Amino acid sequence: MIKINTFAFFSILCAVLPVVSYAADGADYSSEPTGFLRFIVIGDTGTGGDGQHQVADAIRAVCQSRGCDFALGLGDNVYEYGVKSGSDAQFESKFEIPYAELNFPFYMVIGNHDDPTAEKELPGESLSGRYEIQYTYDKGKGNKDGKWQMPGRYYRVDLPGAPHPLATFLAIDGAPLAGPADTQYSASQKAYRDQQGAWLDTQFAQSDARWKIVFGHFPLYSNGRHGNAGNYGGHKNQGILYKNLLTDHVCGKADLLFAGHDHNLQWLSPVAECGNTTEIISGAGAKETALADKERNPAIWQAGDTLGFLYVVLSADTMRGTVYTVDKNDGHYESAFGSTMHK
């Protein structure tokens, strides 16, 4: 079930989207648990270029052999400046065409390139973000098969659905909160942080799902060039409101935090400041950058300068993650790292 935020700028309603799975193609994955969800985690995709297509091809191959129920899209869905309308041709060239052979829903969030003026406007007033939401409701038109799902700037999805979901997924919006905290819009941005924080508290309290998973564009911690929230780009207090949102309302409540923004792959170790929440960065869906400081935050595994994505098999007791890297030159993909979390 999808539950959408309702706030002062707009409110929308959404129907349940059925999950469509690939059937395994005869490969032996008999060790996969029963009663599970299988999904892709991928961010920073929307170039329409070779890198995006190479990663999409690798995802298709993995999903054909292992099965996929849905994907989490971690923002920067349309480079460089977002879309200009709900029927912008970039939806086709940077989403529909690259993922044409992936027959499952993508649950999307807003990134800074999707909403480039978010830091300079009152939260919720930017049109670019609204157009990406609008596209969700264009099923049968531009959004031909309903693959694109972004029913609000932040929203909840329970899967596989009521009354007893295995996981609650909470999509969050950091775009208005990732800049400096001393602009003329600070008061409204703080109010937006508090509003979203209260919403998160309510969703965690109401969910009886076995797993609680938060996904957004911006990382809390990162060994990439953007660095940690509150000090993004080495600038004091850059993204401090977003850091507050996560440390006060996500850390210790969510089992997993998925983020992008840095164009690399990082499976970070839990840290005391964030309780038992594990953060994984999967921002190499179309572009790749080096890791800026591998020692900034403790990592279980990390890799820069490569395209790639995360594949997850979630059961009642385990989260089995596999990181696939994709060669930017020839599209060759391989399993680079795997780990299992126990509930």
Q: What is the pLDDT of residues 122-155, one digit of tens each?
A: 665 677 889 999 999 987 778 878 999 999 999 9
Look over the chain and give the mean of its residue pLDDT values, rounded to a whole number: 89
| Residue of 214, 239, 242, 215 whose CA lies nearest to 226 | 239
Chain segment 302-332, per-residue pLDDT in tens: 999 999 999 999 999 999 999 999 999 999 9
Q: What is the structure's pLDDT at 101?
A: 97
Beta pairing class for 37-42 and 10-11? unpaired
Task: Give the tokens for residue 192.
Answer: 């937006």
Alpha-carbon distance 301 to 142, whole Å? 39
Residue 337: pLDDT over 70: yes
> Are residues 259 and 220 in contact, defined by beta-carbon separation less than 8 angstroms?
yes
| pLDDT greater at residue 99 or residue 185 | 99
pLDDT in tens, 13-57: 233 333 322 222 233 333 444 589 999 999 999 999 999 999 999
Are the CB atoms for 170 and 153 separated by under 8 Å?
A: no
Phi, psi of 36 (to 5 degrees): -135, 165
Percent of the chain, pLDDT > 90? 78
Q: Nearest-CA neighbor of 343 among 320, 319, 321, 312? A: 319
**Look-up: residue for tokens 């911006």?**
218
Over residues 84-101, the pLDDT tens digits come to 999 999 999 999 999 999
Considering only 14-23, 267-276, 297-306, which range has the smallest mean pLDDT?
14-23
pLDDT of residue 27: 34
pTM for this one? 0.90
The C-alpha R_g of the chain, in whole angstroms, comes to 18
pLDDT of the residue at 76: 98
Question: Is 2-22+33-342 a domain of CATH 3.40.50.720?
Answer: no
